[in-house]
């Protein structure tokens, strides 16, 4: 699935780039003919939308499984004692070590 997703992202990107190049060519063509530029042809719009759609589908396939947004779904598997435990907030290297380095350690009084 990941390889298919990457291929879809690549094809979508190429389609969007080609649509942009075609838009620039169309505008240059109208300038050469000295006509007023009103809007792009419909096929450029379609190509841009299809490229965006393929790119979005490819990104979803590459991203893998999504987690639920609700916090209750993730917390349901944890016990009540571990709810207050936040290991990501543990810091052992902080300025307190430098501030209190001259205080003797316990047992050396």
pLDDT of residue 32: 93
pLDDT digits (tens, 9 = 90+) for 2-55: 899 999 999 999 999 999 999 999 999 999 999 888 899 999 999 999 999 999
Output DSSP code: residue 105: P
Tokens of 69: 């947004």
pTM: 0.60
**Number of Cβ within a 10 Å radius of residue 19:** 20
Nearest partner of 2 among 60, 68, 66, judged by Cα: 60
What's the whole-number average pLDDT of the chain? 83
Cβ atoms of residues 6 and 58 within 8 Å: yes
Biggest CA pair distance of the chain: 94
Domain boundaries of the chain, sorted by first residue:
1-63
- Beta strands (DSSP E) in 1-92 are none
pLDDT of residue 47: 97
CA angle 15/39/28 to nearest 5° reads: 75
């Amino acid at each position: 699935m990941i390889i298919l997703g990457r291929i879809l992202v690549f094809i979508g990107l190429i389609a969007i780039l080609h649509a942009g190049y075609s838009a620039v060519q169309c505008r240059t063509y109208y300038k050469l003919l000295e006509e007023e530029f009103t809007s792009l042809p419909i096929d450029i719009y379609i190509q841009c939308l299809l490229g965006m759609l393929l790119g979005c589908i490819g990104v979803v396939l590459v991203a893998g499984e999504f987690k639920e947004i609700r916090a209750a779904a993730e917390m349901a598997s944890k016990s009540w004692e571990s709810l207050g435990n936040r290991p990501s907030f543990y810091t052992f290297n902080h300025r307190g070590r430098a501030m209190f380095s001259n205080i003797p350690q316990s047992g050396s009084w």
